[in-house]
């Protein structure tokens, strides 16, 4: 008899589970297990055929998140989690030359078949985001394994909203000895500073690495505007690529301060200006001589209910940029809202182009890099959408 309680599905042919989608929604459940939130449970069809194991949450619409699809009875001890994390670590570290890039995503939740956890690496420091009770129960396993993999510092970063929505009781804390901030990282040869305690997400937006590289390749001799600049990632690449002027705009004074520090660290004196200002206000009054405009806003759609208002925000943002950019200019436009899919995002950008009444062509479709893998069975793990546009 298994040591794990069993969740029974209504259907013997539940297509989503058969197709290895890791989420089981409450409406698909015939029989709930006798288990607590965060417990590991077995999942079977209505004929009691084992399908896999996952983390249980009876209070959520997503009743179970499967981390192991298997037809064999298993146990999940320290050895299992060590092998799982070590296997991910092996192929992720092979992606990068550490002398050129030492900041990357080690674990991308469902994208790495490990739902409920994100682990980002900043040089010698692993930053762990616990997203559900199931992975909170494994925090000591995860922390010790990361230290054994060679990271000197481990920081658990917990969002307040996670505690409210997912019954996660932990607060942000160092699992290891504390590390001084900021951390100096290197990305594609460019140095910058990251604060994993005070910065957004885990400290930096690692998912834009390759898109920043493209900006750098196209910036020689150009005047560049980086909106929602945060700590200046795109700005640094534009300067490295030979831009004649880069303007960074963000509403956060702390982000702009670190942006300016990053520019000084990488380049000393550089043709760079920073503005602590609302981006929409800046766009309304800005000059019309930018060759490249980068639109990388935070997620406007936090949930399905906010999609309509988010779409209006994305459209207005793109419309203002299309109206103001120099003829023949380039716009890098992004959405990181999971609830705005690629098709809807393109429709929004089309609407902006139609209202701008200027010729607009798509030069590239942009997405997240390989260390943020997309689980082919879980399309929700493809969250970053982007387009490189030419206007005029």
| pLDDT tens string 285-295 | 988 889 999 99
Predicted local distance difference test score (pLDDT) of residue 167: 78
pLDDT of 164 strictly over 70: no
Which residues touch 330 (CB under 8 Å, ≥6 apart)? 218, 291, 292, 293, 363, 388, 389, 390, 391
User: How large is the average pLDDT for residues 306-318?
Assistant: 90
Predicted local distance difference test score (pLDDT) of residue 12: 61
| DSSP string for 284-326 | HH--S--SEEEE----S-SSGGGHHHHHHHHHHHHHHHHHHSP
**CA angle in degrees (0–180, nearest 5) for 54-60-62:** 50
Catalytic residues, by residue number, are 336
* Alpha helices (H) along the chain: 15-18, 78-93, 133-136, 139-148, 160-166, 209-218, 233-240, 253-267, 279-285, 307-324, 342-356
- Which of the residue ranges 44-48, 175-179, 181-185, 338-342 would you say has the lowest mean pLDDT? 338-342
pLDDT of 163 strictly over 80: no
Predicted local distance difference test score (pLDDT) of residue 206: 97
Asked if residue 162 lies in contact with residue 120, where contact means CB atoms within 8 angstroms, the answer is no
Enter the pTM of the model.
0.93
pLDDT of 109 strictly over 90: yes
Predicted local distance difference test score (pLDDT) of residue 304: 73
User: How large is the average pLDDT for residues 150-161?
Assistant: 90
**Token pair 């690496």: residue:** 121
**At 142, is the secondary structure helix, strand, or coil?**
helix
Per-chain mean pLDDT for the chain:
94
pLDDT band at 162 (very low <50, low <70, confident <90, very high): low
User: What is the rounded distance in angstroms from the CA atom of residue 92 to the CA atom of residue 175?
Assistant: 22
User: What is the rounded distance in angstroms from the CA atom of residue 391 to the CA atom of residue 19?
Assistant: 41
pLDDT of 213 strictly over 80: yes
Tokens of 178: 């504390």
User: How large is the average pLDDT for residues 125-141?
Assistant: 96
Domain extents in the chain:
6-69, 78-174, 205-391
pLDDT band at 249 (very low <50, low <70, confident <90, very high): very high
What is the CATH code of the structural domain delimited by 205-391? 3.40.50.150
- Which of the residue ranges 3-17, 22-36, 52-66, 168-182 would you say has the lowest mean pLDDT? 3-17
Helical packing angle, 253-267 and 233-240, nearest 10°: 30
Helical packing angle, 139-148 and 78-93, nearest 10°: 50
Phi, psi angles (nearest 5°) of residue 168: -85, 120
Phi, psi angles (nearest 5°) of residue 119: -130, 120
Tokens of 158: 């917990």
Tokens of 60: 């959520």
What DSSP element (H or E) covers 32?
none
Predicted local distance difference test score (pLDDT) of residue 291: 98
User: What is the rounded distance in angstroms from the CA atom of residue 178 to the CA atom of residue 174?
Assistant: 6
What DSSP element (H or E) covers 69?
strand 62-69
Asked if residue 153 lies in contact with residue 179, where contact means CB atoms within 8 angstroms, the answer is yes
Look at the domain 6-69 and name its fold: 2.30.130
Phi, psi angles (nearest 5°) of residue 236: -65, -40
The Cα-based distances of 330 to 224, 291, 292 in angstroms read 9, 6, 5
pLDDT band at 344 (very low <50, low <70, confident <90, very high): very high
Predicted local distance difference test score (pLDDT) of residue 185: 97
Predicted local distance difference test score (pLDDT) of residue 159: 81
Which residues touch 305 (CB under 8 Å, ≥6 apart)? none
Q: In the CATH scheme, what is the homologous superfamily, with its name and number, of domain 78-174?
A: RNA methyltransferase domain (HRMD) like (3.30.750.80)
Decide: residue 284, CB within 10 A, 0-12 exposed, 13-18 middle, 19+ buried.
Answer: exposed
pLDDT of 144 strictly over 90: yes
SS (H, E, C) 166-195: HCCCCCCEECCCCCCCCEEEEECCEEEEEC
User: How large is the average pLDDT for residues 107-117?
Assistant: 97
CA-nearest of 3, 174, 21 to 77 is 3
User: How large is the average pLDDT for residues 125-145?
Assistant: 97
């Amino acid at each position: 008899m298994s040591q794990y309680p069993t969740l029974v599905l209504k259907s013997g042919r539940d297509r989503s589970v058969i197709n290895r989608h890791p989420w089981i929604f409450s409406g698909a459940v015939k029989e709930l297990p006798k288990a607590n939130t965060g417990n590991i449970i077995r999942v079977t069809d209505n004929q009691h055929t084992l399908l896999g194991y996952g983390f249980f949450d009876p209070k959520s619409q997503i009743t179970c998140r499967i981390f192991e699809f298997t037809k064999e009875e298993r146990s999940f001890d320290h050895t299992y989690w060590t092998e799982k994390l070590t296997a991910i670590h092996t192929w992720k570290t092979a992606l990068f030359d550490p002398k050129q890039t030492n900041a990357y995503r080690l674990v991308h939740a469902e994208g790495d078949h490990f739902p409920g956890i994100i682990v980002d690496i900043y040089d010698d420091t692993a930053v762990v985001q616990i997203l559900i009770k199931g992975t909170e129960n494994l925090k000591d396993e995860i922390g010790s394994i990361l230290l054994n993999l060679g990271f000197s510092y481990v920081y658990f970063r917990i969002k307040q909203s996670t505690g409210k929505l997912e019954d996660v009781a932990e607060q942000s804390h160092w699992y290891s000895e504390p590390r001084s901030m900021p951390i100096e990282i290197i990305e594609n040869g460019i140095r910058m500073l990251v604060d994993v305690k005070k910065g957004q997400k885990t400290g930096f937006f690692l998912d834009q690495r390759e898109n920043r590289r493209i900006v750098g390749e196209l910036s020689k001799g150009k005047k560049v505007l980086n909106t929602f600049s945060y700590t200046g990632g795109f700005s640094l690449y534009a300067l490295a690529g030979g831009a004649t002027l880069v303007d960074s705009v963000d509403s956060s004074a702390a982000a702009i301060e670190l942006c300016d520090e990053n520019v000084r660290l990488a380049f000393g004196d550089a043709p760079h200006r920073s503005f602590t200002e609302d981006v929409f206000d800046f766009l309304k009054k800005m000059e019309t001589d930018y060759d490249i405009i980068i639109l990388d806003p935070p997620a406007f759609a936090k949930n399905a209910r906010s999609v309509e208002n988010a779409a209006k925000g994305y459209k207005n943002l793109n419309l203002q940029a299309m109206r103001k950019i120099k003829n023949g200019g380039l716009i890098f436009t992004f959405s990181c809202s999971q609830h705005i899919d690629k098709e809807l995002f393109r429709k929004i950008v089309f609407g902006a182009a139609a209202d701008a009444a200027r010729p607009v062509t798509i030069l590239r479709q942009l997405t997240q890099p390989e260390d943020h893998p997309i689980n082919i069975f879980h399309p929700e793990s493809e969250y970053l959408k982007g387009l490189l546009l030419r206007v005029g």
